């Protein structure tokens, strides 16, 4: 697949008169075209600093980052044209109207004059703001400003959408609506780079996640693969007929590949394994005449993986 973001030994050091602080410490990663990429870490892990370098807002102290093949320093204008950025706290002129804001951004990106209003109206409809386009932004709720930020980020048809804590300040309904709109953009081919402290949101939306801590990458992969790499365990509660299992069958389950432990319970057996082997266990039990009523599988959550990799119980 094609990489649309490539970071190599990306580093940012902040220096003061007496000391220096390394916010981002030689991180390297790639974001593939069309994927939803999660970027996580505890507070002060370096997430926003990294996003500022990827977006061309801040220069790295060392290392490099390219966007759609363009170096963000050597060819910053071309790199920024590929990005639609939604900061954690969007800023707009309160006295402006949303239609005027979008037309202003369209002019900034050299969109032809006759196209500006058409494009702006189209995005206001997409984000559910058509009925409010002639109202001053100072009358908008926080959720409406977030939707306007999404419309602004999409005005230049970017290949990459970078979201820095998009759910901050939104109620559950607002989060659900925003998530729906982002998914629709991704289905249209837009690559999504998502930094969020809501782990359930990241787990639900992202193909891969990158976990940062103290400026360093602690893990980078799909949730399932990260779980396997760091030795997290899958648990299965298998409910069966109480009289249907013998010690011989129990021993056979224990000998299955990737099974770590098996315990007999009053209603069935509990199986601990290094990966999901529910199909193999079910097949073995049925083959031995055991009536399986149900199998409940509990995979390691992203929260468990996050806490193990960062050793931090603070929110990401």
Question: Would 141 be classed as within a structural domain?
Answer: yes
Provide the token pair at 179. 């998530």
In the predicted model, what is the mean pLDDT of the chain? 89
Identify whether residues 210 and 267 lie together within a single domain. no
Report the pLDDT value the prediction gives residue 241, as an integer from 0 to 100.
60
The sheet carrying 259-264 orders its strands as 259-264, 268-273, 234-240, 292-298
In this structure, the answer to whether residues 144 and 93 fall within a common structural domain is yes
Q: With H, G, I as helix, E, B as strand and everything else as coil, classify residue 36.
A: strand
As a whole number of angstroms, the distance between CA 103 and CA 307 comes to 44
Q: What is the CATH number of the domain that holds 61?
A: 3.40.50.300
Tell me, rounded to whole angstroms, the distance of Cα 261 from its chain centroid.
33
Residue 311, domain member (yes or no): no
Residue 24's beta-bridge partner residues?
12
In the structure, what pLDDT confidence band is assigned to residue 97 with cuts at 50, 70 and 90? very high
Pairing of β 160-164 and β 234-240: unpaired
Burial 217-240 (b: 16+ CB within 10 A, else e): bbbbbebeebbbeeebbbebebeb
238 and 215 inside one domain: no
- Looking at residue 315, what is its pLDDT? 44
Instruction: Based on the fold, state whether residues 108 and 248 are members of the same structural domain.
Output: no
206 and 237 inside one domain: no
**Statement to judge: residues 131 and 265 lie in one domain:** no
Number of domains comprising the chain: 2
152 in the same domain as 87: yes
Q: Residue 224 in 3-state DSSP?
A: helix
Q: Which residue has the higher pLDDT, 163 or 244?
A: 163
* Reported confidence tier of residue 243, pLDDT bands at 50, 70, 90: low
Check pLDDT > 90 for residue 4. yes
Of 203, 227, 251, which marks where a domain is finished? 227
Question: Do residues 219 and 258 share a domain?
Answer: no
Together in a domain, 166 and 204: yes
Neighbours of 242 (CB within 10 A): 11
Given this model, what pLDDT does residue 200 score? Answer: 85
Question: Has residue 309 been placed in a domain?
Answer: no
Say whether pLDDT at 114 is over 90. no
- What are 246-301's pLDDT values in tens digits? 888 889 999 998 888 888 887 788 888 887 888 898 899 888 888 888 888 887 88
Reference 305, options 180, 206, 164; nearest CA is: 206
Kindly state whether residue 67 falls inside one of the protein's structural domains. yes
Give pLDDT, residue 190.
95
* CA distance linking residue 51 with residue 79, whole number of Å: 13
Residue 106 has pLDDT above 70, yes or no: yes
pLDDT, tens digit (0-9, with 9 covering 90-100), for 201-220: 899 899 999 999 999 999 99
Predicted confidence (pLDDT) at residue 239 exceeds the cutoff of 80: no
Last residue of a domain, one of 201, 227, 253: 227
238: domain CATH number?
3.30.70.100
Examine the domain organization and report whether 129 and 41 are in the same domain: yes
pLDDT digits (tens, 9 = 90+) for 117-168: 999 999 999 889 999 999 999 999 988 998 999 999 999 999 999 999 888 8
Confidence at residue 70, expressed as pLDDT on a 0 to 100 scale: 97
Domain encompassing residue 176: 3-227
Same domain, 219 and 237: no
pLDDT in tens, 305-315: 999 999 854 44
Question: If you write DSSP's letter for every residue of 253-285 in order, what string do you get?
Answer: HHTSTTEEEEEE-SSEEEEEESS--HHHHHHHH
Question: In the prediction, which pLDDT does 73 show?
Answer: 94
Whether 234 shows a pLDDT value over 80: the answer reads no
pLDDT, position 316: 47
Collapse the DSSP code of 246 into the 3-class scheme (helix H, G, I; strand E, B; otherwise coil) and give the result.
coil
Domain closes at, from 227, 256, 283: 227
Of the candidates 268, 265, 275, the one whose C-alpha atom is nearest the C-alpha of residue 298 is 275
pTM > 0.75: yes or no: yes
Identify whether residues 255 and 223 lie together within a single domain: no
Helix 113-126 to helix 142-153 angle (10° resolution) is 140
| Per-position DSSP letters for 274-315, written without gaps between them | SS--HHHHHHHHHHTT--EEEEEEEPPPHHHHHHHHH---S-
């Amino acid at each position: 697949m094609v990489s649309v973001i490539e970071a190599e030994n990306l580093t940012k050091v902040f220096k003061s008169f007496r000391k220096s602080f390394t916010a981002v410490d030689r991180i390297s990663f790639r974001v593939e075209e069309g994927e939803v990429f999660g970027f996580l870490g505890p507070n002060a892990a370096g997430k926003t600093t990294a996003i500022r370098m990827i977006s061309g807002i801040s220069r790295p102290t060392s290392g490099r980052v390219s966007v759609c093949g363009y170096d963000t320093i050597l060819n910053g204008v071309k790199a920024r044209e590929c990005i639609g950025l939604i900061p954690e706290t969007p800023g707009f002129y309160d006295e402006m109207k949303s239609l005027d804001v979008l037309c202003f951004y369209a002019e900034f990106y050299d969109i032809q004059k006759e196209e500006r209003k058409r494009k702006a109206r189209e995005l206001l409809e997409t984000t559910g703001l058509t009925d409010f386009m002639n109202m001053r932004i100072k009358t908008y709720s926080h959720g409406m400003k977030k939707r306007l930020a999404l419309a602004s980020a999409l005005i230049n048809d970017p290949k990459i959408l970078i979201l820095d804590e998009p759910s901050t300040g939104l109620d559950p309904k607002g989060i659900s609506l925003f998530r729906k709109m982002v998914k629709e953009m991704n289905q249209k081919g837009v690559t999504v780079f998502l930094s969020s402290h809501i782990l359930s949101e990241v787990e639900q939306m992202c193909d891969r996640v990158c976990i940062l801590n103290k400026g360093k990458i602690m893990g980078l992969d799909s949730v399932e693969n990260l779980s396997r790499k760091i030795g997290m365990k899958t648990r299965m509660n298998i409910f069966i007929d109480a009289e249907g299992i013998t010690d011989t069958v129990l021993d056979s389950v224990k000998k299955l590949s990737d099974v770590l432990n098996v315990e007999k319970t009053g209603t069935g057996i509990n199986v601990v394994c290094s990966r999901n082997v529910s199909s193999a266990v079910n097949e073995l039990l049925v083959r031995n005449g055991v009536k399986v009523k149900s199998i409940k599988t509990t995979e390691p959550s992203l929260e468990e993986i996050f806490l193990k990799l960062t050793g931090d119980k603070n929110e990401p």
